[in-house]
Amino acid sequence: MISMPPVITYTQEPWKETYSEIIDVRSPSEFAEDSIPGAINLPVLDDAERAQVGTIYKQVNPFEARKIGAALVAKNISLHLSQHFADKPKNYHPLVYCWRGGQRSFSMASVLNQIGWRVTLLEGGYKTYRVYVRQQIEQLPETFTYQVLCGLTGSGKTHILRQMRDRGAQVLDLEALANHRGSLLGEEWQGKASPQPSQKYFETQLLQQLQSFNPQQPVWVESESFKIGKLYLPQSLWQKMKQSSCVEIYLPITARVQFLLQEYHHLEKHPEILKAKLEKLKSCCGWKKLNEWYKLIDNDELGEFVRDILECHYDPTYSKSIQRDFSKVERVLSVPDLSDSSINNLLDKLLPNNIFELTLVSS
């Protein structure tokens, strides 16, 4: 007697079950924009093929598009079977999804199901997951108590927060998630400009981070603006941050200049990029001030340039934003520099001595 293959199951809540793998069958560009955490990309149509089928659908007719699309899908699934799935065991149980839970994911799921594997399809596809993210990203931030770390540009807030995290504190590093340092010159740089993630992927990462936190412990976060580079914070998180108590770090301007020269050393090697970025400040600072900065850069007087742009632009701008958005400053702590000993002394004042024990007990 021939055994029947298992029935394909459907879910709208994939996060409630564990799968052998999560397979995203969308095109590489769709996958790059955002995906379910942990998913792998096994496209049944690549970007060029998807565009080809779409063009035929619109310019010829849907029937011809389906014939050509089916041939391409069959070819690509065959390739995946001979490579990725070749060594999968009998108890292999994948979750499969595409954009809307339509033909692309069903084609893959049907073939895997006929082989004998138990396959789950995400009903509604990636769009179902995206609705979940949007709901959670507006609700979850409300469940936490935040401590906001403030301080003028160059005070080492991000550096201090990462030291806090090493001590066991819950830290929401928004700049790391956004791949941007939150200012005009804040684009991350690793030999070349490193692009920011899409808004969707930023929210996916943010949700993952929030879901890892314990609501019984405070979450430390930097006094960011509503927008980090090109990315926006969820409204619920932004409002909670503005309502939270703040700790302000005071660092002398000489130490801030020294720290910024270290952090933005790549711009010293690319003065043309630095000057191009500064041009965006012409409306608020004027051409006279820009030309003064250009001259300092050309003369390799970067220390004087950093000090002047702090005093003339960054410090006044930051002070206004702090007064507007983060007015609940409960403590002001002075730090002479950002040496390890200075930061350790600061953290001794900010964090409970038994934070590791608290983390273990609450987890």
Q: What is the pLDDT of residues 14-39, one digit of tens each?
A: 999 999 999 999 999 999 999 999 99
Q: What is the pLDDT of residues 290-333, one digit of tens each?
A: 999 999 999 999 999 999 999 999 999 999 999 999 999 999 99
Which CATH fold would you assign to the domain 9-134?
Oxidized Rhodanese; domain 1 (3.40.250)
Q: In the predicted model, is pLDDT for residue 12 greater than 50?
A: yes
Say what the pTM is.
Answer: 0.89
Q: Say which of 98, 150, 284, 285 is annotated catalytic.
A: 98
| 2-16, 118-132, 225-239: least confidently modelled range | 2-16
- Where in the chain are the domains? 9-134, 144-362
- Band (358; pLDDT cuts 50, 70, 90): very low
- Does residue 289 have a pLDDT over 50? yes
pLDDT, residue 265, reads 79
More confident call, 358 vs 204: 204
Are 147 and 247 in contact by the 8 Å Cβ rule? The answer is: yes
Of 76-90, 115-129, 282-296, least confident by mean pLDDT is 282-296
More confidently predicted of 7 and 164: 164
For residue 306, the model assigns a pLDDT of 94
First to last CA, the chain: 52
Active-site residue flag, 246: no
Q: What is the pLDDT of residue 359?
A: 46
Average pLDDT, the chain: 92
Query: Please, what CATH class does the domain formed by 144-362 belong to?
Result: alpha beta
What pLDDT band is residue 193 in, cutting at 50, 70 and 90?
Answer: low
**Where does the pLDDT of residue 6 fall: very low under 50, low under 70, confident under 90, or very high at 90 and above?**
confident
Share of the chain above pLDDT 90, in %: 83
Question: If pLDDT is split at 50, 70 and 90, which confidence band does 110 have?
Answer: very high
- What is the rounded CA–CA span in Å between residue 119 and residue 128? 18
pLDDT digits (tens, 9 = 90+) for 251-284: 999 999 999 998 887 777 888 888 988 998 988 8
Q: What is the pLDDT of residues 211-266, one digit of tens each?
A: 999 999 999 999 999 999 999 999 999 999 999 999 999 999 999 999 999 888 77
Instruction: Say yes or no to pLDDT of 187 above 70.
Output: no
**Mean pLDDT, to the nearest integer, of 142-154?**
96
Q: What pLDDT score was predicted for residue 360?
A: 42
Reply yes or no on whether the pLDDT at 2 is more than 60: no
